[in-house]
Every structure is written in structure tokens, then in C-alpha cells.
């Protein structure tokens, strides 16, 4: 049988000994699988390869030149099938949130370069009969990533050029047809970190978490084709599904565990792994 800590372990399964640092100037901005790092030697004008790391060429000394050079490489890699699922969505590349981005790059390539990405996830919930109910999304079966899995009510990546609050409000409209006047009640409630390895790719990512209490008569309707259905579950049923299965997309488990801690569903009296869960929601590659 699974347990809550299994999901934290699954999100933090990275073995960094398999990767080399990817640097820009004096900053490490990502991690490269060793075989892929060798592949980048094909672009000597863009990358400087050394035994202990791979860096962007110092000749690329500003945001525009780095971004343009990286885009050219990524398009060649995509044409060769080495970067898949192209989104046409640019992500900022920076070590820490609110740093000045050193460059931007295609979202789909971030795990290939082990570049940190940020996302916004929202738990939409209802109070009914003295209990908490959570809206659970089922991802569309034709999504390129994690098709058919359970998900948070609203979630999305954090592209360059938009604030986190504006982004979650936008996602509320696109994913669940939540009117803006209702979505503006969304509350920022914290952030989570993890470092997840999938084969030769790495996601040292961070999530901005939001809560939105919804009226009992509201029913979400997907707008962008990324969700097959929404279901309203008692929080106890959500907790059991997480505890006993791997049905939720891997990082969504963390977002709901955080929700359950903050709302007292999990507490030091009823959960023997409470402290390990609370600490496990905030790990990273740094």
C-alpha cells in the first residue's frame, strides 16, 4: 500500500550524480544529463563544454543574445526529435524567483536542460454540511503529458512576462470558466519545491499555491480542452485516493497535501508522518 510520503519521495527522486551543472557566467542555471551534455558540443558557438560543467558561451553576454542562441539550438533539437511537445511558450531562466532572467527558453525544453520552472496551482474548494469538498480535475486523455490523470482544479506553468496572480486568474478562466469577479478572490497560500527526475531529464521546480473558496452552486466547465471532467469530492475521499493510489499527477499530490495540512485535515494528532510530510513539501536541488 502507498502512503503520503511515497508521493514526496516520487517528486524528489533525482540522482544529481547523473548530471552536470549547466551554467551562465558564474551561476548554475540547470542540470544536464551527461550524455546530453556531450551532445551540446555540436554547438561550440553557444556552449563551452568542460569535464565538470557545460556553460553558455561568454560571448553571449545579454538576455537577447542568449535567448536567440538557445532558441536556434532548441529548434534543431526539436527537429531531431530530442525535444518533444513544443508549446510555443517561453519560460524565464533564472536561479531564483524574481532574479533578472538571464534568458528565456521554450517550456518543453526546460526539463532537458534541468532548468527550474515555476507553476501556479489552485485548490478550488467548497464548504458543505460542516465539511470540506475539493474540486478534482481529470486531465484530457489526449494531453501530451500525464493524460487521464487526476489534477488540481486549476494549474498552469508560469511563462515569462505575466505575474503569478494574473496567471492564475487567466488559468481559472481557461480551465474552469471561473468568472473574473470570482477568481479575483483567489488567495496565495504558499510555495512548494521538489526535484524530480524522469529518465535523463530533471525538474528542480517550484509551485505557487492558491486557494479559492467557491459557492456551492458553482460548477466548473473546461474551456481549453485540457480537462475531461471535474468532480467534487469530500476531502476524506481525496485524502484516501492520494494515500492509496498514484492516480493524481505526481506534483498535484504535494499541492493537496499542503492544503490538507493548512486546513487541519492532516494534523500532528492524526498523522504519524506529519512532520516528515510538512518538511518534505519544501525540497530542491539547491
Query: C-alpha distances in angstroms, 71 versus 20, 135, 181?
Result: 21, 38, 38
Residues 277-282, mean pLDDT to the nearest whole number: 97
Alpha helices per DSSP H over 154-234:
164-176, 180-183
Question: What percentage of the chain exceeds 70 in pLDDT?
Answer: 99
Alpha helices per DSSP H over 195-281:
235-244, 250-262, 274-280
Estimate the crossing angle of helix 250-262 against helix 4-11, to 10 degrees: 130
Query: C-alpha distances in angstroms, 276 versus 7, 14, 257?
Result: 12, 18, 12
Give the pLDDT confidence score for residue 286 in this predicted structure: 73
130 vs 268 pLDDT, higher one: 268
Rg (CA), the chain: 20
> Strand 47-50 relative to strand 53-56: parallel, antiparallel, unpaired?
antiparallel
| DSSP string across 7-68 | HHHHHT---GGGEEEEEETTEEEEEEEHHHHHHGGG-TTTEEEETTEEEE-TT--SHHHHHH
Q: Which residues contact 199 (CB under 8 A, 6 or more apart)?
A: none
* Banded pLDDT at 1 (limits 50, 70, 90): low
Per DSSP, the three-state class of 132 is strand
What region, left, alpha or beta, does residue 161 occupy, with left being phi > 0 and alpha being psi -120 to 50 degrees?
Answer: left
Tens digit of pLDDT for each residue in 49-83?
999 999 999 999 999 999 999 999 999 999 999 99
Tens digit of pLDDT for each residue in 145-201?
899 999 999 999 999 999 999 999 999 999 999 999 999 999 999 999 999 999 999
Residues 133-148, mean pLDDT to the nearest whole number: 94
- The grid cell for 9 is 519521495
- 10 Å CB burial of residue 131 (0-12, 13-18, 19+) is exposed
Give the pLDDT confidence score for residue 26 in this predicted structure: 85
Long-range contacts of 144-151 (CB under 8 A, 24+ apart): 144/84, 144/85, 145/85, 146/249, 146/250, 148/228, 149/247, 149/248, 149/249, 150/241, 150/247, 150/248, 150/249, 150/252, 151/227, 151/248, 151/249, 151/252
Q: Residue 260: which of 248, 274, 246 has the closest Cα?
A: 274
Backbone φ and ψ of 182, nearest 5°:
-85, -45
Instruction: Give the Cα separation of 28 and 53 in Å (integer).
Output: 9
Tens digit of pLDDT for each residue in 203-250?
999 999 999 999 999 999 999 899 999 999 999 999 999 999 999 999
Per the CB < 8 A criterion, the answer to whether 242 and 192 are in contact is: no
Give the pLDDT confidence score for residue 252 in this predicted structure: 98
Is the whole-model pTM more than 0.85? yes
Domains (range + CATH), the chain: 4-12+117-280 (3.90.79.10), 16-109 (3.30.750.160)
Give the pLDDT confidence score for residue 170 in this predicted structure: 97
Amino acid at each position: 500500500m502507498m502512503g503520503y510520503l511515497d508521493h514526496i519521495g516520487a517528486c524528489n527522486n533525482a540522482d544529481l550524480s547523473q548530471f552536470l551543472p549547466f551554467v551562465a557566467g558564474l551561476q548554475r542555471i540547470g542540470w544536464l544529463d551527461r550524455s546530453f551534455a556531450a551532445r551540446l558540443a555540436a554547438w561550440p558557438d553557444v556552449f563551452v563544454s568542460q569535464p565538470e560543467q557545460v556553460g553558455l558561451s561568454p560571448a553571449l553576454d545579454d538576455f537577447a543574445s542568449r535567448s536567440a542562441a538557445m532558441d536556434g539550438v532548441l529548434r534543431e533539437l526539436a527537429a531531431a526529435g530530442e525535444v518533444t511537445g513544443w508549446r510555443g511558450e517561453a519560460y524565464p531562466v533564472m536561479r531564483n524567483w524574481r532574479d533578472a532572467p538571464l534568458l528565456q527558453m521554450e517550456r518543453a525544453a526546460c526539463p532537458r536542460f534541468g532548468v527550474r520552472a515555476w507553476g501556479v496551482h489552485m485548490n478550488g474548494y467548497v464548504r458543505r454540511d460542516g465539511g470540506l469538498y475539493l474540486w478534482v480535475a481529470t486531465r484530457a486523455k489526449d494531453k501530451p503529458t500525464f493524460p487521464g490523470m487526476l489534477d488540481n482544479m486549476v494549474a498552469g506553468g508560469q511563462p515569462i512576462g505575466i505575474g503569478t496572480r494574473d496567471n492564475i486568474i487567466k488559468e481559472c478562466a481557461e480551465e474552469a470558466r471561473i468568472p473574473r469577479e470570482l477568481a479575483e478572490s483567489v488567495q496565495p497560500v504558499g510555495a512548494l519545491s521538489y526535484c524530480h527526475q524522469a529518465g535523463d531529464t530533471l525538474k528542480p521546480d517550484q509551485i505557487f499555491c492558491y486557494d479559492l473558496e467557491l459557492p456551492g452552486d458553482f460548477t466548473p466547465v473546461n474551456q481549453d480542452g485540457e480537462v475531461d471532467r471535474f468532480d467534487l469530492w469530500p476531502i476524506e475521499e481525496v485524502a484516501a485516493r492520494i494515500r492509496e493510489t498514484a492516480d493524481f499527477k505526481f506534483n498535484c499530490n504535494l499541492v493537496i497535501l499542503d492544503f490538507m495540512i493548512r486546513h487541519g485535515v492532516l494534523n500532528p494528532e492524526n498523522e504519524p508522518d506529519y512532520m516528515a510530510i510538512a518538511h518534505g513539501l519544501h525540497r530542491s536541488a539547491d
